[in-house]
Amino acid sequence: MQALTNRAKQVDRRPMTFAEKLYIPAIAKGMGITFKHIFQRKATVSYPDQKREFSPVFRGLHILNRDEEGRERCTACGLCAVACPAEAITMEAAERKPGEEHLYREEKYAARYEINMLRCIFCGFCEEACPKDAIYLSETFAPANYQRKGFIYGKDDLLIPDPKAQNK
């Protein structure tokens, strides 16, 4: 059978010599590697003093977006929940009532929108599936918590603040 890669090495089955049985060459080789690593740059970051730089494609916490007028963009189409391979997104749709035009863009909106961050794998499929650009993954870490229910983020946790309500 032919190997898939060229990285295969033949195993040497001959008995060890007396010098090899003493393991002195192996110990010297290991000490040489250790000594070499002493003078290399450390990979550790002193967190409070230094902030780690992230990749431009880093995916963090989810955020539900608003449009220019401060209305929720999410129309509860469910494409993000269907696209999620971990099944971390749960939503329930509701009909917009008369007088709520300033709150929701479309006739249908997400009455309940939850993301279980313990199940989320931060793949970004929900962001790609959303036709209204209602959800995106920010550059913020998921904070630590002591209880499991603290990792289930509801709509009020995910929705960005209304810019019109802040200006008043």
155, part of any domain: yes
Residue 123 labelled as part of a binding site: yes
Q: How many domains does the chain have?
A: 1
68, part of any domain: yes
Q: Is the pLDDT confidence value at 34 over 90? A: yes
**Portion of the chain with pLDDT greater than 70, in percent:** 94
Supply the CATH number for residue 158's domain: 3.30.70.3270
Q: Over the stretch 40-58, which tens digit does the pLDDT of each residue have?
A: 887 788 888 888 888 888 8
Residue 53 labelled as part of a binding site: no
Residue 77 labelled as part of a binding site: yes
127, part of any domain: yes
103, part of any domain: yes
Q: Can you give the three-state secondary structure of the chain, one letter per residue? A: CCCCCCCCCCCCCCCCCHHHHHCHHHHHHHHHHHHHHHCCCCCCCCCCCCCCCCCCCCCCCEEECECCCCCECCCCCCHHHHHCCCCCEEEEEEECCCCCCCCECCCEEEEEEEEECCCCCCCCHHHHHCCCCCEEECCCCCCCCCCHHHHEECHHHHECCCHHHHHC
9, part of any domain: no
Residue 85 labelled as part of a binding site: no
Q: Over the stretch 67-111, which tens digit does the pLDDT of each residue have?
A: 888 889 999 999 999 999 999 999 999 999 888 888 888 889 999
Mean pLDDT score of the chain, rounded to an integer? 87
Question: Could you tell me the residue range of the domain that residue 147 belongs to?
Answer: 62-167
Q: Over the stretch 146-159, which tens digit does the pLDDT of each residue have?
A: 999 999 999 999 99
Residue 120 labelled as part of a binding site: yes
57, part of any domain: no
